[in-house]
Structure 1
Amino acid sequence: MSQNSKAVSLEAIAAKKKLSSSFFKKGISLALFSGLAYGVYTAFLTMGMTKGVWGDWYGKNTAALSTFVVVYLLAALGNAINDTCSAVWAILYSIVKGKFGDFLRCVNTKPGRIMILAALIGGPIASTAYVISIQMAGSIVVPISALCPAIAAILGKVLYKQELNKRMAVGIFICVCASFLIGSTSFVGGSISKDTFLGILIAILAALGWGFEGCVAGYGTAMIDPEIGICIRQVTAGIADLFILLPILGVMAGRVGISFELASQAFTSGPAMVWFILSGCLTFMTFMTWYAGNSMCGAGLGTACNGTYSFFGPLFCLLVLGVYGGMDGWSLPPVAWIGAGVMMIGILTVSMNPLDLFKGKNKEVDINETA
């Protein structure tokens, strides 16, 4: 082979490596953005549930609503409106991308049914539990709900016989320790309020649901376009929230019609719907960038980057609700912020070997030197 041919070959290899590196970095950026978007969505959704008619429901001059309705049905309603708005954004996006027909065709396929199952677990169950926990205990539950990657690793071992090595076990242990560290900040004078304790338990339920959803959805998106899969998930979650979960909670509250009455008032409350439309958009963007990031940098690293919402959630709740909204109770003690940071380290350790990040950097340097 001539010297010119060798030079061209080396240049081609270097160009390919550079392109792969750029693709990988873009995936990390998208996955990190998904964690940030999740934090903003949490703050916007919670803000929406303080505006308009929601202010009457949760305020001192509240209508004659039972404790069950205020604590559980209203939280489920807030999540239902958010998921419905997110579904509308997902449909609009599929239309713009020319994939709405593919969405309709994929719904009744095996991958589509798997995504529907994932949506039923993650929407009506996990997401509603997440909203309830925030209403009961505040932003302290956000990092605790971020246990879902660790839970997904355990469930993957149990359900699919996936690898659960020593590194992953260490990461899970770090996550659990971080959750206890965060939870310890709720103890005031050696005791914890009933609502805060229950909110933390419900946040763990949300983490369980999202962990299970991650196992199911990971299998489904391996066989379907992620953009179509996300559309199926969001539409299913919105429909299930509105027409399955809310009526069930209405029956539990003593009158099935109350869920539709409250939903009608909520959907026509302009000051609140502005925030729900924004939170729905951010919810859709969260899943879009998370799935896209996973496909570009790997599910492990993508999940770890998305897990940064354990930090961004409390941060944006503080900025939007505490600073902008002037509401008390949204600041966290320094120990909780440290716990959120430790949680991110644990998530990274579960998802991948942190040393690989430095190995990848070294390899990139070698490539550039070779070029």
Structure 2
Amino acid sequence: MCEVTGANAHMAAIAAKKKLSSQFFKKGISIALFSGLMYGFYSAFMTLGMTKGVWSDWNGANTAGLSVFVITYMLGALGSAVNDSCSAVWALIYAGIKGKAGDFFRCLNTTPGRVMILAALIGGPISSTAYVIGLQMAGSIVIPITALCPAIGAILGRILFKQELNKRMMLGIAICVIASFMIGSTSIGADAPKGAFLGICIAFIAALGWGFEGCVAGYGTSMIDSEIGITIRQVTSGISNLIILLPIFGMMAGSVKLSANLVFQAFGSGSAMFWFALSGLCAFISYMNWYRGNSMCGAALGMACNGTYSFWGPFCCWIVLGVFGGMQGWSLPPIAWIAAVLMVFGILVISMNPMDLFKKKEAE
């Protein structure tokens, strides 16, 4: 009798453990999916901020004597710098609330901390700026293009770290490439916006940089608290944009003082900064939940769930900018929506065998 009772208790404990594991796994998926949604809102709010206050003068009929180079590229870098700076402030506030501010400063001079700084230098000044410039030139259609970063990360991981690149992953990469060509085809028609093709090409730079960042950052976050890693990433990105990239663009435009002048004007524009503060918060939440979701449901599935921003990005831009903001040009043709969903599926195939999702469900 006692043996039977003990066996039943053991089976009940196993069932309870499986239920907890299942709930933990499902919560991780929900968190990772939420990170993709927040990335969409970050893109939309940042773009909206770049139409308000002093930005409307810079981009409108009154260009304040700014050259085409400054309007096209330098303002894109400035938008990225303001957003990442706001995101860094939110990250530092969060670290302070969690009592991790001291850990942040201690980790800066460690090997994983330096790795995260390197990742931020690649993903911040380079990729984030290319992303913003692409958004300004071609609209939300560039967002699924930047979602190629997991495919690029898989290829770079194979080249740099000899990581596995099997037939399934190659199939997923092929699906993503096909989806990107479908999206690119919308930029070469007669009714395509001016500069859309160049904007999409610039978006590929963002995808390449983020793919490389993912390879590098994966090493760093395996040895330090992911919340500290995110804080290092956002702070480094914001500072490097302000003190490295913008002065370089200023020199290219013929005046370093111009970059400083634009920075002070941008941060002093209250009507725009409200939206940048909101976009920075969404960016921080997106990164934070991406890392948290990865730790709960696995990096592979977490990457696929976060990759849904290839759909959420255009959708949020359409809602915030097109519907709420009343701006023209933020709706996408049907082929772009289909390609965005196809891109999500391709990312899922790269990250994991989709059939494993059903196996996990059967095992519960």
Shift of residue 197, structure 1, vs aligned partner: 1.3
Aligned equivalents of 1:50 and 1:194: distance in 2?
Answer: 18
Shift of residue 187, structure 1, vs aligned partner: 2.6
1:1-36: per-residue Cα shift (whole Å, max 9, x none)? 701110111111111111111111111011000000
Give the structure 2 partner of residue 134 of structure 1.
Answer: 135
Q: Secondary structure at the match of 1:61?
A: coil
Give the structure 1 partner of residue 361 of structure 2.
Answer: 361
Aligned equivalents of 1:153 and 1:54: distance in 2?
Answer: 38
Give the structure 2 partner of residue 298 of structure 1.
Answer: 298
Give the structure 2 partner of residue 256 of structure 1.
Answer: 256
Aligned equivalents of 2:82 and 2:192: distance in 1?
Answer: 31
Q: Which residue identity does 1:212 align to in structure 2?
A: F
Q: Which residue identity does 1:82 align to in structure 2?
A: N
Give the structure 2 partner of residue 231 of structure 1.
Answer: 231
Q: Give the alignment's TM-score, normalised by structure 1.
A: 0.97
Give the structure 1 partner of residue 284 of structure 2.
Answer: 284
Q: Secondary structure at the match of 1:185?
A: helix
Q: Which residue identity does 2:169 align to in structure 1?
A: M
Q: Secondary structure at the match of 1:188?
A: coil
1:132-161: per-residue Cα shift (whole Å, max 9, x none)? 000011111000110000000000000000
1:289-328: per-residue Cα shift (whole Å, max 9, x none)? 0000001101100000000000000001111111111110
Aligned equivalents of 1:34 and 1:162: distance in 2?
Answer: 26
Give the structure 2 partner of residue 327 of structure 1.
Answer: 327
1:242-281: per-residue Cα shift (whole Å, max 9, x none)? 0111111100110001001001001010100000000000
Aligned equivalents of 1:333 and 1:192: distance in 2?
Answer: 11
Aligned equivalents of 1:109 and 1:11: distance in 2?
Answer: 45
Show the 5 A alignment for 1:13-28.
13-28=14-29
Q: Give the alignment's TM-score, normalised by structure 2.
A: 0.98
Aligned equivalents of 1:142 and 1:96: distance in 2?
Answer: 33
Give the structure 1 partner of residue 115 of structure 2.
Answer: 114
Aligned equivalents of 1:345 and 1:332: distance in 2?
Answer: 19
Conservation of the 8 A alpha-carbon contact between 2:36 and 2:286: yes
Show the 5 A alignment for 1:53-64.
53-64=54-65
Give the structure 1 partner of residue 13 of structure 2.
Answer: 12
Show the 5 A alignment for 1:172-191.
172-189=173-190
Show the 5 A alignment for 1:121-270.
121-189=122-190, 195-270=195-270
Shift of residue 185, structure 1, vs aligned partner: 1.5
Work out the percentage of aligned pairs sharing the same amino acid: 69
Give the structure 2 partner of residue 369 of structure 1.
Answer: none
Q: Which runs of 5+ in 2 are unaligned?
A: none
Q: Which runs of 5+ in 1 are unaligned?
A: 365-371
Give the structure 2 partner of residue 352 of structure 1.
Answer: 352
Aligned pairs, how many?
Answer: 363
Shift of residue 62, structure 1, vs aligned partner: 1.6
Conservation of the 8 A alpha-carbon contact between 2:249 and 2:259: yes
Aligned equivalents of 2:77 and 2:178: distance in 1?
Answer: 30
Aligned equivalents of 1:193 and 1:74: distance in 2?
Answer: 19
Conservation of the 8 A alpha-carbon contact between 2:152 and 2:207: yes
Q: Secondary structure at the match of 2:187?
A: coil
Aligned equivalents of 1:290 and 1:94: distance in 2?
Answer: 17
